[in-house]
A and B are shown apart, each in its own frame.
Chain A
Amino acid sequence: MSRSYVTIPAITLRDDERKPRYTGRKLVLINRASNSSQVISHARKHSLRLAAVSDFSKAKTGDYLNEAFRQADGIYFDRLKVAVINESAEPLLKPALSSGKQKQPHFLFTEQERYVYAIASRRRASADYTDNAAASWGIHAMNILGSPLKGKNIPVAVLDTGADTTHPDLHPRIRRKKTFVSGQQVTDLNGHGSHCAGLAAGNQHATRGFRYGVAPLASLLIGKVLNNQGEGTDANILAGIEWALDNKCRVVSLSLGSETYEGETWSRIYESVAAECLKQNCLIIAAAGNESARAEKLISPVAHPANCPSIMAVGALTANLGIAEFSCGGINPDGGQIDIAAPGVNIWSAWKNKGYRRESGTSAATPMVAGLAALLLEAEPTLTAPALWMKLVQTAKRLNLPATDVGAGLAFIRS
């Protein structure tokens, strides 16, 4: 009997990952009530040559399946009641299936045979975050592109070394600016503040369309509280926080602080200020600090003011979602815990003089969480500051790392 073959696409590629999904062969579910001889006889009636796997499986080599496929149109696994039909014999399969008018159909239904792949461990799977043409690795890790939210018009204060207010990625987003540093303009001659502002609410790269700002439609309030050497006093910082409240900011990002020591408690002054901010519907998010040297088994306690209970402390993560070498930890028993973590190593953002640069630090992780807070506020504008805090923690992606290092886990937005 002559056979007519049709061309069937043997491989279907998945869009998301370039691994073939289907082999081109068909799986057939066989009626459990049918015995082997009935099945093989039924197949033969439709010119399908089925080989029972039991006839081949005693072979000493592991190649018996290929041998069975070479000798027949398909293999029948009699214990499993499943047959696998070669792609070339598929045209014969349909009549074998449709001849189901008999009381006891032998072939029940078919589906495509799939390729299967080893499932990488979760840690391993998440190790693959890299910058690509669409966005920075941090944006990918936090699933920012999975959300349509852009933090539209949510006022976010970045209190730092100022910002490059002429930077094409920042300029359109800056609603207000103010310097609290005597003798220095708000213009950032350090770069640190521009980097932070870019991560919170920088528009995507002006010419390349590369997204690195978490909330690119948020309204930025740039307060220069650190001088161009990256240093500032409490008076400057507290004045900046007051200014943020005056301007009804919903989020304040503080990528600054000072080292604390084991057993040291938090500042009552900053705690009072932060609690007042929460009451006035403003969440302060601060960098946990970079004083650890984890390779040397040295973990430093969360820095001031992030160690205040009413300030959200942010740890830094690597691109494989491990804790960053330098990221401080929640080791002081009386407060000073890490609340959440975010990408903080090799993070691409805006820089001074209309530039761009990669930087590492809890400084980078902090404005990314601030940007995420703006996205959540866009979705639910009536969220109070304490509820916003809860939402950030609740939606965080749990990591297989100690909570003393990463708190609730990776700051993350659910699609």
Chain B
Amino acid sequence: MKFVAVVSDKTQITAIAGKLKMLGCKVEQVLKRTGVITGDSLHIPLETLQIGGIASIAPEQVRKAQ
């Protein structure tokens, strides 16, 4: 499942992205200014990815032009 996560401390974002990779996720973007990590959890439930340093994680959604 594609996900979007935001970290609670941007200075730790690289380390947190590394942890997600170690858990078996595919990390696609590490957005250091906004503290966002996007990627694919593959078959791992998102609740499992709510690790230390992740403030919030949610399935990626499609948005439309208004």
Contact = CB atoms under 8 A, between A and B. Distances in A.
B62 A231 contact: yes
Nearest to B10: A276
B29 interface: yes
A239 B29 contact: yes
Given A234-B60, A269-B6, A242 B66 contact: no
B60 A233 contact: yes
Given A235-B4, A235-B29, 4 more contacts: A233-B62, A242-B34, A269-B58, A276-B34
Interface stretch (A8-16, A86-94, A251-259, A335-343): A251-259
Contacts of B4: 234-235, 238, 269
B65 interface: yes
A111 interface: no
7 contacts: A161-B65, A230-B64, A234-B38, A255-B65, A257-B64, A258-B64, A273-B35
Interface of B: 2, 4-6, 10, 28-29, 31-36, 38, 55-58, 60-66
B66 A290 contact: yes
Nearest to B60: A234
A233 B66 CA distance: 14
A257 B35 contact: no
Nearest to A242: B31
A273 to B, nearest CB: 4
A269 B34 CA distance: 10
A343 to B, nearest CB: 15
**Interface range on chain A (Cβ under 8 Å from partner):** 35 or more
B55 A256 contact: no
Name B's interface SS. strand
A304 B58 CA distance: 14
A190 B65 contact: yes
Interface string A191-227: 0110000000000000000000000000000000010
Interface string A254-296: 0111100000000111001100110010000001011000000
A231 B5 contact: no
B56 A235 contact: no
Given A234-B4, A234-B38, A268 B66 contact: no
Give the most central of A226, A238, A280: most B CB within 10 Å: A238
Contact of B65 (A230, A242, A272, A277): A230
B25 to A, nearest CB: 13
Contacts of B35: 272-273, 276
A246 interface: yes
A314 B10 CA distance: 29
A362 interface: yes
Given A272-B6, A272-B55, A237 B66 contact: no
B64 A242 contact: no
Give the most central of A242, A258, A290: most B CB within 10 Å: A242
Contacts of A303: 66
A160 interface: yes
A226 B63 contact: yes
B8 to A, nearest CB: 8
A361 interface: yes
A144 to B, nearest CB: 22
A8 B45 CA distance: 89
A377 interface: no
A287 B31 contact: no
A404 interface: no
B36 A238 contact: yes
Contacts of B64: 226, 230-232, 256-258
Contacts of A193: 65
A187 interface: no
A234 B63 contact: yes
